[in-house]
Amino acid sequence: MRRSLIALLLLVAACTGSGDGVVTVGESTLPPTTSPPPPPRGSVEVRLSEAEALASTGDTVRVGPVSLSGTSPQRFEVTAGQPVILPIYYVEDGIAVEPSWTQTVTVGEDAVVELVIEQSWRAPEPPPPPLVMAWQTGGDAETYLEQLAAAPGLTVTSPRWWTLDRDGFLVGETDPEFVAAAQDLGVAVWPYMTNGFERRRTGLLLNDPAKRRLVAAQLSRAAQEAGVGGINIDFEAFNAADREAFTAFMDELTSLAHEWGGIVSVDVTARTTSRPAIATDRSHRYDRRALAEVVDYVVLMAYDEHTRFNPSGPTASPAWAQDALYWLFRFVDADQVVLGVPFYSRVWDPVELNAPVTATIGTVVELSTAGRSTFDPEFALHRVDLEDGRHFWVEDYANLAGRLTLARESGVAGVAAWRLGFDTPRVWEVVEEQVSGHWSVVNGP
């Protein structure tokens, strides 16, 4: 196993001069000293060099002496005697922790400073296991627990608990007994709140700051008292004018939940580079970058590529899902993204194309041999035409495996499935094959 310690060293040459700036190194910002009398300041030229040493856990690595002098186009102002932070990286099998440890170097008035770094190597912290999340709706606690027991590999469930009444207030019931039973099965509970696609009710909540704070407080308190680990928010189809107010609501809720250790996630619809937002497009409602700054996870609902509102087609073709994920990466870091995957598809009737029928993944697999199958190059999926004229695209277990591979190789935090009840035993075999034991730790594109 290749293990190494890499020291990224500041090469500093101090000159006389003056200035009121700060030194910024990586993520460290060092303010100037303000206490009188002001110490001398110098113009400092900085460049980075890399020193590497192989080591085993517990070994002490000595890097140096290194002369802190040199030239660089990067120029900063620094107070003489001010500490500068040097990041130290630990690397194991090509995976680095950034930074694992820091060493302080004092920049004096001398033109050249020498540094010897001595530090014990330690293995990077293992990455967190991926989230394997699924929503639950339309059933009671007994049904939900049966679904959890049939879903090996599931780590988080999100049952529907809350919604809005006609005046925009919180309604719903918690179930602490279900939470305890789910936790006994090794599954965390992050119940979700939906706005029910009710635009008017959502506006009544979001545009009343007092009501917004009240609902956030009620929701946080109810979740805490039920013993859950987090909260998921699924607000869709609200007014585009309410996007800033929605971010404010998420900020208020997250702050309260974090006080008791709750994790907050928010669902967003898919956008792609080939489908720009328009005023009537519900994907335009979210300020994704601002939401990512306040919540713990952003869940991308990478499905419903085709619905009753547009021509027939697959629920989530491979290229479309990848495009939607990469588009989100413009605004949200990969390790904060949870990729939504569908356990369903749609069967289209040419007589009623505006009323497609939802078919579970198991039903799709069964029907795939009941008609004429042809490969559709537009979507890179097989299309099946049944004798009665209905048709659908085959989004089967192989397609699911491809979606999980996309998630794994993109370095996202995990996956979320709509929904339990649409799954089969084979679904969880695919999840085990694609997720368990080899979830890649890489950055998104």
pLDDT for residue 278: 43
pLDDT at res. 427: 98
- For residues 375 and 359, what is the distance between their CA atoms, to the nearest angstrom? 20
73-77, 340-344, 376-380: least confidently modelled range: 73-77
Cα dihedral 295→328→288→219 (10° resolution) = -40
Distance CA 430, CA 190 (A): 24
Question: Which stretches does DSSP call E strand in 278-394?
Answer: 297-301, 337-342, 344-349, 352-360, 372-376, 381-385, 391-393
Q: Which two tokens stand for residue 162?
A: 């809350």
Predicted pLDDT of residue 444: 32
- Are 103 and 119 in contact by the 8 Å Cβ rule? The answer is yes
Q: Which amino acid is at 277?
A: A
Question: Which residue matches tokens 């004229």?
Answer: 389
Mean pLDDT (whole number) for 406-434: 96
What is residue 184's DSSP assignment? H
pLDDT score of 284: 73
pLDDT score for 65 = 47
pLDDT band at 441 (very low <50, low <70, confident <90, very high): very low
Higher local confidence (pLDDT), 190 or 115: 190
Per-chain mean pLDDT for the chain: 81
Instruction: State how far the Cα of 243 lies from the Cα of 288, in Å rounded to an integer.
Output: 10
Residue 443 has pLDDT above 50, yes or no: no
441: amino acid identity, one letter: V
Which ranges of 94-154 would DSSP assign to H, the alpha helix? Answer: 141-149
Q: Hunting for tokens 């060099």 — which residue is that?
A: 49
Grouping H, G, I as helix, E, B as strand and the rest as coil, residue 1 is: coil
pLDDT digits 0-9 by tens, 111-159: 444 455 566 666 666 778 999 999 999 999 999 999 999 999 999 999 9
pLDDT of residue 309: 86
**Dihedral (C-alpha) 291, 297, 298, 303: value to the nearest 10 degrees?**
-160
Q: The tokens of 414 are what?
A: 């995990």
| The dihedral formed by the CA atoms of 178, 180, 181 and 183, expressed in degrees to the nearest 10 | 120
Helix axes 176-184, 141-149, angle to 10 degrees: 10
Token readout for 435 is: 């997720």
- φ/ψ of residue 294, rounded to 5: -115, -30
Confidence of residue 310 (pLDDT cuts 50, 70, 90): confident
Tokens at residue 394, please?
Answer: 């085959």
Percentage of the chain exceeding pLDDT 90 = 64
The 10s digit of each residue's pLDDT in 317-348 is 999 999 999 999 999 999 999 999 999 999 99
Residues 43-63: tens digit of each pLDDT: 444 444 455 556 665 566 555
CATH code 3.30.70.980 for 131-435:
no
The pLDDT assigned to 388 comes to 95
DSSP bridge pairs for 307: none
Name the more confident of 250 and 127.
250
DSSP 241: G
- The predicted model gives 6-32 an average pLDDT of 38
Is the model's pLDDT at 30 over the cut of 90? no
Give pLDDT tens digits for 171-182. Answer: 999 999 999 999
- Please name the residue that has the structure tokens 């569908």: 342
Q: Per-domain residue ranges for the chain?
A: 3-120, 131-435
For the stretch 76-121, pLDDT in tens is 444 555 555 556 666 666 666 555 555 555 555 544 444 555 666 6
pTM of the shown model: 0.76
In the chain, the N- to C-terminal Cα span, in Å, equals 27
CB contact set of 174 (below 8 Å; sequence gap of 6+): 161, 191, 222, 223, 225, 226, 228
What are the DSSP calls for 94-110, one per residue?
TEEEEEEEEEEEEE-SS
The span from the CA of 346 to the CA of 2, in Å, is: 49
Confidence label for 1 from pLDDT (cuts 50, 70 and 90) = very low
Report residue 383 as tokens. Answer: 């299309």
Question: In this structure, are residues 57 and 121 in contact, taking their beta carbons and an 8 Å threshold?
Answer: yes
Q: Is the pLDDT of residue 169 over 60?
A: yes
Share of the chain above pLDDT 70, in %: 68
Q: For residue 247, what pLDDT is reported?
A: 98
